[in-house]
Amino acid sequence: MPSLRDRKRARTRQALIDAATELFERDGYDETTIADIAAAAEIGTRTFFGHFASKEELLFPESDARVRAALDAIASRGPDEGPAEVLLRALRRVGDDSDEMASRLAALRLRLIRTVPAVRGRALQIQFEAQHEIGRRLAAAFPEELDEVSAVALTGAFVGAVAGALQVLLADPDQIGDPAAVRAAVRRATDVALKPWLRAAQPPG
């Protein structure tokens, strides 16, 4: 059970995220300083860095949990699943358990990834690390089929395809709120990347 200390810490953390969301939306990312955010959350500027290592980190508060969910999906592979099926299941898991488009932070994040280079850079780094981790686990889960180079290459292809497709789609502001279009684009991307790897028909996703 979380101690009082932990709960307090979590509350402060959330207050920082909320304050930052508010300020980023109102004034813009670059125009908001860390001092502003800390003041709005009623903590000292110095203390901010005890909760987040950098300004960008505020926008990716749950990235660890996402990666863990994907890794779990790999760990629980079914008996007749190949690497591609496992990756698809992991993707569905990651995409589902989030309110994603519904969440205010997620929408803000998408906009800032498109418009602020520093945020995009951080997003790409997180994606890259996740991809590497997933690839290594995938190699471990399919030792006879995949060496590590191929596993990370496969994961890179998968993630790269999905990211590329989403990038094109979300560049058009109209389609951002359209879940059907997003699903269609993701479907096309996974088809492109995984076509030869699928053992059976892909269930509609």
**Could you give the CA distance from residue 43 to residue 166 in angstroms, rounded to a whole number?**
37
User: 187 is in the binding site of which of a copy of itself, DNA, none (Cβ under 5 to 8 A by kind)?
Assistant: none
Which three-class secondary structure state does DSSP give residue 117?
helix
Q: Does 47 bind DNA (CB under 7 A)?
A: yes
Q: What phi and psi values does residue 171 have, to the nearest 5 degrees?
A: -65, -25
Taking CB under 7 A as the criterion, the residue among 14, 54, 76, 167 binding DNA is: 54
Q: What is the CA radius of gyration of the chain?
A: 19
Nearer to a copy of itself, 93 or 136 (CB): 136
Which tokens is 156 given? 């890179």
Nearest distance in Å: CB 120, DNA = 15
Residues near a copy of itself (CB under 8 A):
117, 120-122, 124-125, 128, 131-132, 135, 148-150, 152-165, 167-169, 185, 188-189, 192-193, 195-196
**Could you give the CA distance from residue 123 to residue 77 in angstroms, rounded to a whole number?**
28
User: 121 is in the binding site of which of a copy of itself, DNA, none (Cβ under 5 to 8 A by kind)?
Assistant: a copy of itself
DSSP 146: -
Angle between helices 148-171 and 83-96 (to 10 degrees): 40
Q: Does 26 bind DNA (CB under 7 A)?
A: no
Residues that bind DNA (CB under 7 A): 3-6, 8-9, 12, 32-35, 43-47, 49-51, 53-56
